[in-house]
Amino acid sequence: MTPAAPPPLLSVEHVGVEFPVRSSVVGRSSGTVRAVDDVSFTVADGETVGIVGESGCGKTTLSRCIVRLLKPQRGVITFHGRDITKLSDRALRPIRRQMQMVFQNPYASLNPHRRVGVIIAGALPKRIGSGREADDRVAGLLEKVGLKPEMADRFPAEFSGGQRQRIGIARALAAEPKLIVLDEPVSALDVSVQAQVVNLLGELQEELGLAYVFVAHDLSVVRHVSDRIAVMYLGRFVEMAPADLLYADPRHWYTRGLLDAVPTPTLKARRSSSRGILKGEAGTVLDAPSGCAFRNRCPGATEICTTTVPPLVEEPDGRAVACHHPLGASAS
Amino acid sequence: MTGPLLEVEGLRVGFSTDRGVVQAVDDVGFELDEGELVCIVGESGCGKSVTALTIMGLTRSPTTRIGGSVRYEGSELLDAPESQLRALRGPGIAIVFQEPVTSLNPVQRVGPQIAEQIRAHTTLDKAETRQRVIESMRRLGIPQPEQRWYAYPHELSGGMCQRVMIAMAMSCSPRLLIADECTTALDVTIQAQILLQLRSLCDDHGIGVLLITHDLGVVAEVADRVVVLYNGRVVEQGTVRSIFEDPQHPYTWGLLGSMPRLDRPRREQLLTIPGAPPEPGTAGGGCSFLVRCPHAFDRCLEEPPLAPVPGASDRESARCWLTPDQRRHLRMAGGDIGLAPAGDVG
């Protein structure tokens, strides 16, 4: 044991998830598809790691893996130094208190037949029970997320999307977690409400020292909240870097293409044909090309990219890129 | 042609419900010229989609009350007979909806779906129709259009389905294209491709495009002029330059400040608008933004008119009681609005 570096809060090593592929609804499995392939990263206490990618890249599958709503076929997930990859549901229960999840759709993730107070109280630690103390806790949590304590008696249907997402956050906080996995927590919300929730998440993190894994497709939101960001493409991390570095100086062609495609509300970036726009579409992991999955859209692809999957190589400045011909490499 | 391609004036759309009339659109007006891209921007329930559908004559029903005026090339559409509208839909005005996958017929191949419109509006024979569909698909960047003719919608990605929808809308060479949140369901890289194509429809083919969106980023990228809607009313309109460099309405400031931006420091507090967008038809008296506005004062209890912005072009207007001096002052004071300093347009 080296006393110097404490183990990270969460460590994901070479995780892979496969799903069976059926040719028809009743058909037999005709093979497997790798939704997540060889993904590794760590999250430190109080840190926010963002994961971005387009639809079908595996980001939701990965986030479900982290809280073990899914069991990965390969790799190891360690939380607080304990291997949780193969734990049973029963053994997971106390650990799940410390790692909570906030879901994308605030309309589907709250039980419509339960009062909000009951929904939140259900996630409180057992020692608190269900009496006066629990009520106080629920009231406190509602206030913490910017709602009124009296709202505990209402049903989810009485709330707007933004308020529901706050309830989802209150429920996650009720368990007193160390880590919250947020899967597209603001993408269903209106812009003005989205900003409120983003600010709230920032305040809560500062106050409670939470760590976040923030999964989203919106690069501007992810950059805003994250310390480090991983870019995912068809099941793999193609680049991982400190947030500012990733945006200022992307190394992977896909990262640069994504950044170029983000519409920003300034006139500086008026769309012009000279700006790089990625051609083609990501497709799915089912029809990914051999070698580097991005090669058929990549302007810099060569022979080697068709045969060899580029490994994610760590660089001294804390970033990692999986590309045979990374951007800016010729300069160094 | 002298006048604008499309003129909307004092448009009001109300839906009769059990709870009374819900006024979804309340006094919306704007103009759109040939080869111009106008964006209608607003949050959910602001009436942007109802406006688009009403222009197409798609909200007509016994329970809908429509008032005001919609003129296409000078002729009134609101009281036009259905037959006239039908002749216009396609060759005159075409619309693309938000959900490409659900807007297409799932049990018909996409080629014939596009061809249907051409058959209805032209006298082209089968081979010519097919040629035109394939041409239209190719122009939208659909690879191998000859093979795609036979594809069913479920065999295509969301981006491809949206291209098919646009190809369908463009197949009769309309002069006005209405795109209702047509890139919202798509990934950013695909969105960028489609926006570029919309822009080229304006620039290269002189088509007028009305783009409905909630994303100010999209607006900044492609719009010529912008109409900001709030609770069924136009709160501000102007050129894209004026909206981003010299926005007049506190709601527009709020929208701009709410967006995390790649060119601003991380983790900076975002400017937020308190509360949530109102349900359609819940407007009380006075300014509809009153309850969420941090700068409201006594006079706001009275509904402000949509007034021209002094010193700006005649098409710039805002619905706010604050004087231009007060607005400038407030914006300077609130550096957190996150506005780019004027004059940095490339």
Question: In which residue are the tokens 């100086």 written?
Answer: A249
Indicate the residue of A217, A224, A282 with minimum beta-carbon distance to B267: A224
Tell whether B257 is within 8 A of chain A (Cβ).
yes
Residues of B in contact with A263 (CB under 8 A): 188, 191-192, 195, 215, 217-218, 220-221
Residue A161, SS3 per DSSP? helix
How many residue pairs bridge chain A and chain B with CB atoms within 8 Å of each other?
158
- The residue in chain A having the minimum alpha-carbon distance to the alpha carbon of residue B275 is A193
User: Exposure of B320 by Cβ count < 10 A (0-12 exposed, 13-18 middle, 19+ buried)?
Assistant: buried
Residues of chain B with pLDDT under 50: 336, 338-346
CA pair distance B243, B246, nearest whole angstrom: 6
Q: Return mean pLDDT, chain B.
A: 88
C-alpha neighbours within 13 Å on the C-beta side of residue B112: 8
ipTM, two decimals, is 0.83
Contact B213, B37 (CB under 8 A): no
CA pair distance B52, B45, nearest whole angstrom: 13
Residues of chain A with pLDDT under 70: 1-5, 23-29, 269-276, 329-332
Nearest Cα of chain B lies from the Cα of A200 at a distance, in angstroms, of: 10
Q: Quick check: A264 and B276 CB within 8 A?
A: no
What order do you get walking across the sheet with B75-76 strand by strand? B20-32, B6-17, B64-72, B75-76
Residues of A in contact with B345 (CB under 8 A): 267-268, 270
The three-state DSSP-derived secondary structure of A273-288 is CCCCCCCCCCCCHHHC
Please spell the DSSP secondary structure of A231-246, one letter per residue: EEETTEEEEEEEHHHH
CA pair distance B260, A223, nearest whole angstrom: 8
Both tokens of residue A16?
């892979």
Nearest Cα of chain B lies from the Cα of A160 at a distance, in angstroms, of: 8
Backbone φ and ψ for B300, nearest 5 degrees, come out as -65, -10
Please spell the DSSP secondary structure of A75-93, one letter per residue: EEEEETTEE-TT--HHHHH
Tell whether B189 is within 8 A of chain A (Cβ).
yes
CA pair distance A232, A238, nearest whole angstrom: 6
CA pair distance A155, A118, nearest whole angstrom: 10
What order do you get walking across the sheet with A29-43 strand by strand? A29-43, A10-22, A74-79, A82-83
CB proximity list for A136: less than 8 A, separation 6 or greater:
none
pLDDT at B334: 63
Contact B182, B209 (CB under 8 A): no
CA pair distance B129, B118, nearest whole angstrom: 7
Indicate the residue of B190, B221, B262 with minimum beta-carbon distance to A220: B262
DSSP element (H, E) containing A207? helix A191-208
Q: Quick check: A281 and B254 CB within 8 A?
A: no
Residues of B in contact with A161 (CB under 8 A): 276
Nearest Cα of chain A lies from the Cα of B47 at a distance, in angstroms, of: 14
Report the largest interatomic distance among the alpha carbons of chain A, rounded to a whole angstrom: 68
CA pair distance A71, A64, nearest whole angstrom: 9
Contact A215, A183 (CB under 8 A): yes
Strands B64-72 and B6-17 come out as antiparallel
Q: Quick check: A198 and B267 CB within 8 A?
A: no
pLDDT at B283: 65
Q: Quick check: A220 and B257 CB within 8 A?
A: no
- The residue in chain A having the minimum alpha-carbon distance to the alpha carbon of residue B268 is A224
Q: Quick check: B277 and A190 CB within 8 A?
A: yes
pLDDT at A70: 92
Please spell the DSSP secondary structure of B222-282, one letter per residue: H-SEEEEEETTEEEEEEEHHHHHHS--SHHHHHHHHHS--TTS-TTPPPP--SS-PPPTT-
**Would the pTM count as exceeding 0.90?**
no
Nearest Cα of chain B lies from the Cα of A39 at a distance, in angstroms, of: 22
Both tokens of residue A323?
């590309």
Q: Which of the 8 DSSP states describes residue B127?
A: H
pLDDT digits over A34-92, tens only? 899 999 999 999 999 999 998 889 999 999 999 999 999 999 999 999 999 999 999 99
Selected residue of A266, A267, A275, A277 to mutate for chain B interface (largest B Cβ count, 10 A): A266
Tell whether B19 is within 8 A of chain A (Cβ).
no
Nearest Cα of chain A lies from the Cα of B237 at a distance, in angstroms, of: 16
The identity of residue B139, as a single letter, is: R
- The residue in chain B having the minimum alpha-carbon distance to the alpha carbon of residue A281 is B190
Residues of A in contact with B273 (CB under 8 A): 192, 195
Contact A154, A204 (CB under 8 A): no
CA pair distance B243, B345, nearest whole angstrom: 13
Selected residue of A52, A148, A165, A191 to mutate for chain B interface (largest B Cβ count, 10 A): A191
Selected residue of B155, B187, B251 to mutate for chain A interface (largest A Cβ count, 10 A): B187
Buried b (16+ CB within 10 A) or exposed e, A160-180: bbbbbbbbbbbbbbbbebbbb
Nearest Cα of chain A lies from the Cα of B71 at a distance, in angstroms, of: 30
Indicate the residue of B157, B188, B257 with minimum beta-carbon distance to A258: B188
CB within 8 Å of chain A, chain B residues 265-304: 266-274, 276-277
User: Exposure of B96 by Cβ count < 10 A (0-12 exposed, 13-18 middle, 19+ buried)?
Assistant: buried
Q: Quick check: B258 and A263 CB within 8 A?
A: no
Contact A201, A185 (CB under 8 A): yes
Q: Quick check: A223 and B266 CB within 8 A?
A: yes
What is the number of other CB atoms lying within 10 angstroms of the CB of residue B132?
18
Backbone φ and ψ for A83, nearest 5 degrees, come out as -70, 115
What is the number of other CB atoms lying within 10 angstroms of the CB of residue B119?
13
